[in-house]
Structure 1
Amino acid sequence: MVFKPLLKVNSSCMNLTKFPLNPAVIINSEKSYSSKPNVTKKIYCGTVTITSLPSSLSSDRVCNNSASLPLNWRDIQGLNNWENLIQPLSPLLQDEIIRYGKFVTACYEAFDLNPNSKRYLNCKHSKNRMFLAVGWGDCGYTVTKYVYATANINVPIQNGGSCARWIGYIAVSSDEEVKRIGRRDILVTFRGTVTYQEWIVNFMSSLSPARLDPNDPKPDIMVEAGFLNLYTSSETNVRFGLGSCREQLLSEISRLLRIYKNEELSITLAGHSMGSSLAMLLAYDIAEVGLKQPSVPLTVFSFAGPRVGNVHFKERCEELGVKVLRIVNANDPITKLPGIIFNESFSTWRSACYAHVGIELVLDPLKPNEDETNGMSGIMIDQRIKKGVNMMEFFKIDDILCVHDMQTYIEMIKNCPRRSRIRRKGVDMIKKLKEMNMTSVAWIYVATTLVVLLTILV
C-alpha cells in the first residue's frame, strides 16, 4: 500500500549533521565500550530460554528487599545484561520495571485529548505539578523539561501553526530519592502514538542512514525512516518554532550531566510503542556522540517496542554498551514489526534487515494452564503468527488496543512470574477513538494500519 499522495517528506530534515554539537556543552569523553556484548535473548515470564553468559552476580547478591537497591542498582540497570535476575524474576527488578512503566503511564494520563482545551495535544499540567496531578506526587522525581516532537511531513488534515506535540518529559530524582535508589537518576520518558502525524510516521518503515555522529556518519547504520523523521525534524518554517526533539533532549541531558557531574549518575530511558523507538534512538545518539562519561550507565526500558534499526544498528548499540530490556506481550503484533520476515534471523542482506536490540522479556498469557517448566519458545510464537493460527482472535477489534495497552503491560508484569491469565478488558475501540476526536480521515489511517499488519503477518 503506497501513501505517496499523502506524504511529502522534506529531505532537508534528514541532514542530521547540522545539529550544533558544541564541545563546551557536551561532556567529551572516550566512548564506553562494553567488555561483555549485549547479547539478544528471549526470556519468558515464568519460563526462561536463555544462553548462559559468564556470571559475576551470585544468587544472593540481589535480594528481594527493596532496601538492597542502593547496593545493586547497577545490576538492575543491566550491568551484566540482567543475568541471574530473570530466572526466577527478581522482585527487585520486577518492581523497577513497574516503576518505570508508571512513569510512562504518566505521559498518557497527563496528555490532553480534549479538543476544546487550550492545552489540546499538549500536557495538561505545569512541570512542577504534573506528577501530583496524575496522582503520583511521591514518585521522588522532579520534571525539568517537557519534550515536543513534530514530523516533517505535509498531510491534508494538519492545521496551520505549530505542529509540535508533547511527546514526553525529562525528570531527575530528588535528594531523598537518591538515598533510596543509590544514585542520581536522569529519566527520559516517551508516550506512544496518538496524533495524526504520528500514525503516518508509523507507515514510513523504510530504512534510512542514521548519521547522528557528524564526525563519523556511519552510513551502514540504518534506522526506521519515520522514527528518525520524528526525532530529528524541527519547525524551522514556523515563527518561534521549536527545535527538533533531538535538540531538546541532548541539550537538557547535557545540562543535567553538568549539574550533577560530581555525583553517581544513571541515565534511564523508558517508552511505550513508538515512544520506545524514540528512547532507542536517543540512547544510541547519547552513546555515539559521547555525551556521557563511560562510568554513567545508559539503560532503556522498552514497553511494546517495534524494531528500530538494522543489524548494524543493533551491533553498534551493543558495542557502545547501551543496555536494553524489552518487555513484550507475546500477543502484541506491534513488537513483531517491522521486519516480520527480514529480521535478525535472516543472514543475507544484513544491512536491509531489521533487528531487535537487547534482552527480551516475553509475557505470554495465552496458555494459563501451561506447565511452567515447558514454556513456549520464540520460534513457536513466530511460527504461530506467520501461519495465521488464531489470527482472527489475534486481531479482534475489541482486543487490538488491549494487547498493546501500557496498563495491560504493567498488569502482566505484576502477575509475573505467575502464569495468570490476564483478563481482556474488552476495550471499545470506537469509543476510544472518538475520545481522541479522530475524524473519518484518521479512521482511514487506523484501518490501513490494521490491514498492513494483517498483510505482513500473513
Structure 2
Amino acid sequence: MASTAFMPNLSIKPLEVSPQIGVHRLRQPSFGQVTLPEKRSMSSGRRSIAASAIASTVMTNIAETSSSLARIWREVQGLNNWEGLVEPLNPLLRAEIVRYGEFVTACYKAFDLDPSSKRYLNCKYGRKNMLREVGMKDSGYEVTKYIYATPDISIPIQNGTCCGRWIGYVAVSSDDEVRRLGRRDVLVTFRGTVTNPEWVANFMSSLTPARLDPHNPRPDLKVESGFLSLYTSDDSNSKFGLGSCREQLLSEVSRIINKYKGEEVSITVAGHSMGSSLAHLLAYDIAELGLNKDGSNREIPITVYSFGGPRVGNSGFKERCEELGVKVLRIVNVNDPITKLPGVVFNENFRNFGGRYELPWSCSCYAHVGVELVLDFFKMENPSCVHDLESYIKLLRCPKRVEVQRYGVDFMNRARELLLTAQSLDTWPWKDAARNVGNLLQSQRT
C-alpha cells in the first residue's frame, strides 16, 4: 500500500443507528506529550540534563501505559463493547488500534507483486524473518504460520491461474510481550484485495447460509458468498497440498491455544478491506465451534479490529456474533465506498418501517457487526487515500484538526455508480463492476 502524506480532518463517534449522525472530534492522548526546550536558551550541559529528564519522563509514561494495559486489557479488547473508550478515544485503545493496524500493514509490505519473482503473489520473506524485514523486529510477536486463500472464481489473473495466494499470517506474543499485554495474544492478520478474483469475491452480492457448524447449520445465518468462498475453498491442484483458508486457520489457532492452555490468552483478528471480512468469518467460526476455550474450559475473548471493511452477513450473522460474545471494532472512513458494500440499498437501515415494524425481507438485508469508530478524511490529489490502510493509521497516530477537503466528487460519483451497477442480479455485470472498481482505486496509486 502506498503511503499518502496529507493532513486530513478527523472525526470519531460511537456506533449509532445511522452512520451519518453525531460525528465527534478525536482528542489528543493525555500521556507522553513533552515540549522540548529551545536549544539556544541553554548550555550543552543543561541541554544534556534536560534531555535526560525528558527521556526519563517518556519512559515513565510508557511504563505506566504498559502497566495500565496489562490491568485493563479485557476492556481495551472490548469486554464492555468499548463503552467510555471511544468518545473520547482512550489513549490505550488508540495505541492498540494503531499497533494492530501496523501488523496488517506488514501483510502488504511483505506481499510480492513482482510478476518476474519466484514468490509472485506470495510472501517475499521466510516466516522467521518476515516481521524484521518489514521493520517490525521489535513487535514482540513471532509468526507461526502463513495463511493462503483460494477464491473459487473462474477468471484468469496475471499468470493465468487461480491457485492459493498468501493472504496473511498467524503470530503469537513473546514472553516479554505477555508481561506488557497482560496475556498471551494469538494474532491473525489478513491483507486486503489485490488480485482480480479477490476483487470479484469482494463484490459478490448474494447471501448464502454459512453452515460452518456441522451440528447446527443455522440456515437463517447468511454471509456474502464471495467472502465465504475465499474462506472455505481449497486448492486441490496445489503442489503444496494446501487446505482451505479455514482449515489452515482453525488448525493453527487450536494448536496455539492448546500449547498455552495454562495461561491467560486472547484471540485477536485484524484485517483491512476484504481481509476484515475474513477476520469476521474466522472470529465467528472459532466462537461457533467453541474452540475459544482454555485448559479450564474458560472462554477466551475474541476481538476483531476491522479497517475499512465491508458488510459480511445478514442480521442473523450479526445477532449470532453478538450472542457468542465476538467483539468487533470497525474503523471506517465515511468517504470510503468499500465500507458501504455489500448492500448499498438493502442493509440494516432498510430492515424496519418507522423504527417499529420488521419488514419480511429483513433476513436478506446486510448488517454491519460491532462498534463503529468513524474517521472523515479525503485528499483531492490522491482520492484512493479514502481506502488506504496507511492513511487510516497515519490519521489515528497524528489526529490534527484541519479543514476537510470536500473534493473529488467525480471520483466518488464514479465509484458509487460502479457499486450500484454491481447490484444487478446478473453474475457477469458483477464481475465487470468489481474489476472496474478495483482498477479505479488502484489507478489512483500510480
Question: TM-score range, shorter-chain basis?
Answer: 0.7 to 0.9
CA contact (8 A) 2:220 2:316 kept: yes
Q: Does 1:343 align with 2:347?
A: yes
| Alignment correspondent of 2:375 | 363
Moved more, 333-342 or 280-289: 333-342
Change (3 A) 1:47 1:111: closer
CA drift of 1:213 comes to 0.2
Alignment partners' CA distance in 2, 1:230 and 1:220: 21
Change (3 A) 1:47 1:410: closer
Give the match for residue 254 of structure 2. Answer: 254
Q: Alignment identity in percent?
A: 62
Q: What pairs up with 1:98-137 in 2 under 5 angstroms?
A: 98-137=98-137
Alignment deviations for residues 260-293 of structure 1 (CA, whole Å, 9 cap, x no partner):
0000000000000000000000001001111112
Q: What is the aligned partner in structure 2 of residue 88 from structure 1?
A: 88
Matches for 1:58-457 after TM superposition, within 5 Å:
65-157=65-157, 159=159, 163-293=163-293, 294-346=298-350, 347=352, 348=359, 349-365=361-377, 399-416=382-399, 418-420=400-402, 448-449=436-437
Task: Write the distance in 2 (CA, Å) between the matches of 1:95 and 1:452.
Answer: 32
Quickly say closer, same or farther: Cα 1:133–1:158, change in 2 above 3 A: closer
**How far is 1:40 from its partner?**
6.6
User: Which residue is equivalent to 1:3?
Assistant: none
The farther-off stretch of 38-47 and 297-306 is: 38-47
What whole-Å deviation, never above 9, does each CA across 1:170-210 have from its counterpart, x for those lacking one?
00000000011110000000000001210121231210100
Aligned partners of 2:114 and 2:189: how far apart in 1?
A: 22
- Asked if the contact 1:162/1:238 (under 8 Å) is kept, the reply is no
Decide whether the 8 Å contact of 2:15 with 2:373 is kept in 1.
no
Indicate if the aligned counterparts of 1:150 and 1:230 stay in contact, CA closer than 8 A: yes
Identify the structure with the greater helix proportion. Answer: 2
Deviations along 1:393-431, whole A, 9 cap, x unmatched? 9xx7x6442110000000121234x4345789x9xx9xx
Structure 1 distance, partners of 2:240, 2:307, is: 34
Cα separation, partners in 2 of 1:229 and 1:446, compared to 1, 3 Å: closer
Deviations 1:369-413 (A, max 9, x none): xxxxxxxxxxxxxxxxxxxxxxxx9xx7x6442110000000121
Aligned equivalent of 2:34: none
Q: Deviations over 1:229-272 (max 9, x none)?
A: 00000012445431000000000000001000000000000000
Counterparts of 2:405 and 2:390, CA distance in 1? 12
- Asked if the contact 1:40/1:358 (under 8 Å) is kept, the reply is no
Extract unaligned runs of 5+ from structure 2. Answer: 1-13, 28-62, 353-358, 412-430, 442-446
Q: What secondary structure sits across from 1:345 in the alignment?
A: helix
Aligned pairs (5 A) from 1:7-46: 44-46=23-25
Question: 1: CA distance between counterparts of 2:264 and 2:405?
Answer: 42
One-letter code aligned to 1:172:
V
Q: What is the CA–CA distance in structure 2 between the aligned matches of 1:75 and 1:260, rounded to whole Å?
A: 22
Distance 1:136 1:313 in 2: 35
For 1:37-61, what per-residue CA distance to the aligned partner results, in whole angstroms no more than 9, with x for missing partners?
x98766745279xxxxxxxxxxxxx
Distance 1:47 1:118, change over 3 A: closer
Q: For structure 1, which runs of at least 5 residues remain unmatched after alignment? A: 1-37, 49-62, 367-392, 430-442, 454-458
Q: Secondary structure at the match of 1:251?
A: helix
Distance 2:136 2:339 in 1: 29
- Secondary structure of 2:276's aligned partner: helix
Distance 1:118 1:45, change over 3 A: farther
Report the Cα offset of residue 73 of structure 1.
Answer: 0.4
Contact persistence 1:40–1:357 (CA under 8 A): no
1:448 is aligned with what amino acid? Answer: N
Post-superposition Cα deviations, 1:125-165, rounded to whole Å, max 9, x if no partner, equal 00101011001100000000000001112114465667110
1:39 to 1:315, Cα distance in 2 relative to 1, 3 A: farther
Is the Cα contact below 8 Å between 1:211 and 1:219 reproduced in 2?
yes
Look up the equivalent residue of 2:389 and give its one-letter code.
M
| Maintained 8 Å contact 1:45/1:364 | no
- Inter-partner Cα distance in structure 2 for 1:122 and 1:266: 28
Amino acid at match of 1:405: D
**Residue equivalent to 1:388:** none
SS of 1:214's equivalent?
Answer: coil
CA shift at 1:67, angstroms?
2.7
Change (3 A) 1:156 1:116: closer
Contact 1:365 1:419 in 2 (8 A): no
- Partner letter of residue 73 of structure 1? W
Distance of 1:139 and 1:81 partners within structure 2: 26
Structure 1 counterpart SS, 2:385: coil
